[in-house]
């Protein structure tokens, strides 16, 4: 799944050691506009410190995530893990200022063309 959101808050890093070795996880809360309302989504970055280091609060990103739920002692828990992060593209580049906008023809009527005599003497 993929969504676009703005970084609302970067939570502290958590580190640990398991049977498979050292791990680190960091949760990031994204603000996702939804019409008139705004929704917050907490996304986990597991062993991805470089991705989190690039994040800036208030910046917009496109985030690809996996969503998984699991049961433990009769309760269900949902995990949202990021696997790709891309800065959201800003507006289109501005047109070159010396070029007329598309659809408009440049006006040559303002200055009369000088006559050129290219005949030999």
Q: What is the CATH number of the domain that holds 57?
A: 2.40.50.140
Strands (E), 1-121: 2-18, 21-34, 37-46, 60-72, 75-87
> Per the confidence metrics, is the pTM higher than 0.75?
no
- Integer Cα distance of 16 and 85 in angstroms: 24
Range of the domain at 67: 2-87
Q: How far is CA 33 from CA 14, 30, 44, 56, 65, in A?
A: 28, 10, 20, 18, 17
- Domain membership flag for residue 45: yes
- Domain membership flag for residue 111: no
Average pLDDT value over all residues in the chain: 85
Number of domains in the chain: 1
- Domain membership flag for residue 40: yes
35 confidence band (pLDDT: 50, 70, 90): confident
- Domain membership flag for residue 67: yes
């Amino acid at each position: 799944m993929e969504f676009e959101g703005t970084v609302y808050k970067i939570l502290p890093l958590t580190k640990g050691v398991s049977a498979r070795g050292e791990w680190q996880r960091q949760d990031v809360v994204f603000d996702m506009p939804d019409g008139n309302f705004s929704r917050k989504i907490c996304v986990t970055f597991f062993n991805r410190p470089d991705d989190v280091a690039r994040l800036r609060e208030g910046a917009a990103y496109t985030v690809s995530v996996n969503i998984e739920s699991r049961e433990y002692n009769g309760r269900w828990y949902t995990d949202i893990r990021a696997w790709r992060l891309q800065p959201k593209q800003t507006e289109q580049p501005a047109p070159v200022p010396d070029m007329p906008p598309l659809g408009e023809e440049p006006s040559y009527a303002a200055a009369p063309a000088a006559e050129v005599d290219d005949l030999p003497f």
